[in-house]
Structure 1
Amino acid sequence: MSINQRVQEIIDKLFSGNKRAFSVAVGIAATVTENIVGTRGTNPSFEVTCKIASAIENINTEWLLTGKGSMFKTGILQGNDILNTVSENESSYGLISDYSARPFIESASLVKDNFSRAISSNNCKTIIIPFIDGCDFLLRNHGDSMVNLSDLKKSINDQDIVACRFWENLSHIRWGEVYAMATKQGYIIKKVVPSDVKGKITCISFNGKKGYTPYDLSLSEISDWAIVVGVASVNVW
C-alpha cells in the first residue's frame, strides 16, 4: 500500500470519505488533498505528512510513513474493540476510544464567509463528541429559537453543540431538514423549506411560541451550507 493509499484510508475511515473535511482538519488546501489521493497520485510533502500526523493524534506515524504496523497507535481502542461495558480489571480500562476530534466553531461571529475559512483560523479549537457519525465540524448554538417543544429529541437548546456535515450539492436541498448556513452576519441554524419567491428559501424556527416566525432568505446571502446530523446538549450547573 502506497502512502497515497494510506492517506485515502484515513479519509475513508475517519472522515467518511469526505476529502474536504480531511483537508480542513489537517490544515491543507483541498487541491493538495486531491493531488495526493486523486488521479495525479502526488506523494505528500514532508510538511503535509507532518500536518497529518500532528492533526490526527491517534495515527501511527510509522504506519503513515512506511505502512508498517497498525493504522492507529498502540493502546487505542478501535471501532470493533469498543465494549459496551469496560470494567476496571480489564486491560483496556481507561484507554481512549477512536473518536477523532472535530473542528469546533464556538462563536457565530467567526463565520463571515464560509465554514472552511473559519475552521482554518487560529481561533477554532477541536473537541471530541462521541456517538455522532458523519460529522465534519461542530458549532455552538446560541439562543432558543430552535427549541422544539413538540419534539424534544429534535430540539436545539441554547449553548448546545451542533454536529454538521458539509453540504456541497446545492442542486439537491433536503427540504424540511435543519441546516447551518454561513452568511456575512455569521451562521444561522434553521429548518429549510421552499419559498414562494424565486431565488429564496424559507427559514423556520422550531420555537414559534416565542415569536420566532418563518422568514425568507435570499440564496445569494448564503455563502456556505452544512446539514445538521446531531446535537449534543450542554447543561452547565
Structure 2
Amino acid sequence: MIVALDGPAGSGKSTTARRVAERLGWLYLDTGAMYRAVGVAFRDRGLPFTAAAARDLLPALDVRLRPAPDRTRVALDGVDVTDRIRTAQAAEDASRVSKLAPVREAMVALQRTVARETDAGGVVAEGRDVGTVVFPDADVKFFLVADLDARARRRLADFAASDAGGAGSGGDPAAFEKVRAEIAERDRRDESRALAPLRPAPDARRLDTTALSVEDQVDEVLRAVRDR
C-alpha cells in the first residue's frame, strides 16, 4: 500500500508522514530530501540551475536515502549531507532544481524504485507531487494545508531545533517576517511552475493542520489507511 501526503512547506506533511510510517512499521519516503540533495550538489559545484547543467551532473550523481530513528539520512556521492539539506539555502535550491525536467525525471524514477524495492509492506511518501505525479495510483492521498503564519512559525522552530537554518530566533520578528516571505515566494514558484506544479490530486483529502496537533494529523491519516 502507498500513502501519499502532499502540501506546501510547513504544512506538517513531513512530521505526519514520518510518524504514520513509524506507527505502521512502513517505509517513510521523504521525496523532498532528494531534491535538496541535488540542490546541494549544484551549489557545491558552482553550477547554474539549468536543464543543461542537470543533464551533465545527474548521470554521475549518487543520491541515497537511509531510514533512521530520528529522520531519514541522506547521502550524496557517499557523503552524509543530512544536516546540510535542512537549511533555508537548501530549501531554496531544492525549489530551483525541482523545476528542471531532467531532475524531475531522475528523482521520480528513483522514488518509484525505492518504493517498489522496499520489503516494509507499505510506503508513506511525502512531497509536493507525490499524489499527482510520482504515485498517481496511491491507495490513500492527503493534501495538507495551513495558514501562512502557522507555517512560518513551524519552519522557524525547525531551524532552531536543527541550529542549521541561520534564520534567527523564533521570537525575533524580523526572522519571522523573513521566513514568512520566503515560504510565500516558494509557494508562488511551486504552484506556478509548468512541470509538476504543487496542487492537490483530484482524489486527495484536504487536511487543514493549522489548529491540529501532530497526533491529530497522524490519527486522521491512520483512520483513512485503516478504512482503505
Larger Rg: 1 or 2?
A: 1
Of structures 1 and 2, the one scoring higher in RCO (CA 8 A, sep 6+) is 2
Instruction: Report the TM-score when normalising by structure 1.
Output: 0.23
Higher helix share: 2
Instruction: Report the TM-score when normalising by structure 2.
Output: 0.24
